Every structure is written in C-alpha cells, then in structure tokens.
C-alpha cells in the first residue's frame, strides 16, 4: 500500500513507519518546511492549513499522528492552545485535502485518546460510551469531529483512542529513573484504573486496520488486562527488581503538575477494547509485565 504518515518522528510514528516499510508498504512522510525534500517525504504546513490534495490522491491510507505531547509540562493557557491547534489544525488540514481529492484515500487512521471518556471511576467503558467532562475529553471529542468531517468522501475513518503507550520513551521512560532508585509507587489512592497498551500492539493494530476494511469508527487501543495505578507501580517495580511502595499523595501531584495531574494521573477510566476483541485482534503483549519487559529489552 501507499501510506501517508503525519507525526512520523513521534513516539508511535518512529516505531510504526519502519514496521510498515519492513512489511513492504510505500511510506510518504509529511514534513514541515523548511525541511529539505528527501526520499519518501512531502511538504505540508498544518499551521497554515496547507496540504496539496495531489499528495493524498489515489493513496491507500493516511495515518495522522500529529499532536503536541500531552504530558509535557503544566497545562497553562498557552500549552492548552498548542495542544488543541497541533491536533485540530493538522486534522482539519488533512480532511480538507481529502475532500478535494478526485480519488480520495481509502482510509484515514486518526489518533485520539481514552481521555475522551474523562474521569469515570468504576464505570465500564467501551466505544459506545459517551464523551466525558474536562479539557482532555473535550479536546479528544473535537479531534474526532475534525477527523470525521470527510465521511461523505468515501474514505473509511478509524479513530485510535489510545491508552497510555508502554514504550521505552514516553510516560514509561519518565517513570524509570525514580523506580530504578526505589522511589516509585502509586499516585494518589492508587485505586484509579490506568488504561494502557504496549507499543508493539499499537503497531500491530494499525497493521490490522489497514488489512481489515471492516474496521471503522472509534477503537479503544487498550489492553484487555485492566490495571489500577497500584498494580502498574508494583508490576514496574517487579520488572526492575525494585520496591514500589512510596506513594505520591494526590495533593503533591496536583501541586507539581496542576490540571494535567488530575486528567492523566488521578483520573480513573475503566476502558475495554470491545471493538478490537470483536474484530478478532490477537494481542502481542496482553499483560502489562510482558509489555514492560518488551519495552525494557529495547533499551538494553
């Protein structure tokens, strides 16, 4: 297949693109000016809403992973604006270009997040559950709305509601230093559900989506193994051979990270991958310990 990818240098894109190329697909990375044209690259300017429809015309798939890292720093007003514009601007630029294609892409695979559901406690959540409350829920909902504006263009749209991606980089990478020092532990009550997904399964699921035309709409990219924050800390400590008994009180997390702590660390979302299980996807790392050990092996 010919596949267009935005956000190819990010946490997911940097693992996905080589895997797609190894599978024999032709990848074209969308890059911003003034980056030089290289093999397999095409220019776009999402901030200005500029993307030549000819780049997308007749392609098999567009994978949009563009978006500023949600976990970088406190959510000031300026950071919130950047989080929104980096997602909604890029997605609207792509869907606008798709609408102007004579032969539109067969599928748009667009990133989203389980933050769509907000803080829901013990409630069991699947793809039919309504949007929650808060900044992250509204951002995810608006992001999905921007992606689905082209449904009349005969382009299948798949929305990747991603849980915490377990990879050597990202959230797991930021946890490693304190845990290796024996200073890790649960955050707040530790009772909150943390939906997660191994990076190998993120890549595997995108392959699955490209090959299965029945996959459509929102997909919860989370493991079937439900994990609470305390369980996550214990599992990471066990994988590192370190204790994980020093909790971070909720007030300390709020003091350090503000609203971001509330949405990413203290919120509870008991999310289940109902659509993926129904479609028959087989997980590569179905347990958290497997996913953590696979991620750590890549850093050795």
Q: What is the tens place of the pLDDT at every residue in 81-102?
A: 999 999 999 999 999 999 999 9
Q: What pLDDT is attached to residue 154? A: 84
Q: What is the pLDDT of residue 152?
A: 54
Pairing relationship of beta strands 41-43 and 61-64 according to DSSP bridges: unpaired
CATH pick for 2-297 out of 3.60.20.30, 3.40.50.720, 3.40.50.2030, 3.40.50.300: 3.40.50.720
Dist. CA 126–CA 138, nearest whole Å: 17
CB-based contacts of 71, cutoff 8 Å, min separation 6: 170, 171, 174, 260, 264
For the ranges 18-32, 34-48, 234-248, the lowest mean pLDDT is seen at 34-48
What pLDDT, in 10s, does the model give residues 156-170? Answer: 999 999 999 999 988
Peptide bond into 34 cis (omega under 30): yes
Q: Which residues contact 208 (CB under 8 A, 6 or more apart)?
A: 215, 276, 279, 281
The one-character DSSP state at 50 is B
Position 299 pLDDT exceeds 80: no
Residue ranges covered by each domain of the chain: 2-297
CB 97 within 8 A of CB 50: no
Residue 65 CA to residue 91 CA, distance in Å, equals: 9
Peptide bond into 74 cis (omega under 30): no
Give the model's confidence band at 151: pLDDT under 50 very low, under 70 low, under 90 confident, else very high.
low
Measured in residues, the chain has a length of 300
pLDDT in tens, 169-200: 888 988 999 999 999 999 999 999 999 999 99
Banded pLDDT at 33 (limits 50, 70, 90): confident
Please report the pLDDT score of residue 170 as a whole number. Answer: 86
Is residue 39 very low, low, confident or very high in pLDDT (cuts 50, 70, 90)? confident
Q: What are phi and psi of 86, to 5 degrees?
A: -70, -25
Give yes or no for residue 254 having a pLDDT over 70: yes
**Torsion over CA: 122, 123, 125, 129 (sign):** negative
Q: Which band of pLDDT confidence, cut at 50, 70 and 90, is reported for residue 208?
A: very high
């Amino acid at each position: 297949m010919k596949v267009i990818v935005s956000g190819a240098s990010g946490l997911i894109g940097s693992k996905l693109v080589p895997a797609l190329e190894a599978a024999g697909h032709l990848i074209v990375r969308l890059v911003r000016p003034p980056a030089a044209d290289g093999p397999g690259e095409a220019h776009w300017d999402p901030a200005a809403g500029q993307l030549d429809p000819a780049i997308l015309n007749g392609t098999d798939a567009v994978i949009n992973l563009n978006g500023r890292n949600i976990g970088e720093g406190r959510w000031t007003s300026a950071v919130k604006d950047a989080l929104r514009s980096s997602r909604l601007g890029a997605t609207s630029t792509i869907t606008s270009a798709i609408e102007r294609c004579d032969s539109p892409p067969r599928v748009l695979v667009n990133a989203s997040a389980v933050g769509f559901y907000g803080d829901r406690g013990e409630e069991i959540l699947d793809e039919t559950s309504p949007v929650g409350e808060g900044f992250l829920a509204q951002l995810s909902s608006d992001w999905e709305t921007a992606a689905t504006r082209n449904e009349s263009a005969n382009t299948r749209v798949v929305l990747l509601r991603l849980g915490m991606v377990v990879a050597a980089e990202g959230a797991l990478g930021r946890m490693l230093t304190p845990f290796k020092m024996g200073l890790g532990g649960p955050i707040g009550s530790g009772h909150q559900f943390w939906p997660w997904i191994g990076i190998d399964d993120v890549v595997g699921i995108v392959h699955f989506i490209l090959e299965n035309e029945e996959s459509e709409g929102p997909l919860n990219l989370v493991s079937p193994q439900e994990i609470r924050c305390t369980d996550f800390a214990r599992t990471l400590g066990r994988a590192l051979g370190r204790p994980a008994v020093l909790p971070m009180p909720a007030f300390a997390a709020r003091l350090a990270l503000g609203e971001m702590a509330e949405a990413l660390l203290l919120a509870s979302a008991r999310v289940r991958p109902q659509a993926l299980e129904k479609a028959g996807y087989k997980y590569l790392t179905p347990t958290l310990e497997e996913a953590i050990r696979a991620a750590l092996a890549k850093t050795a």
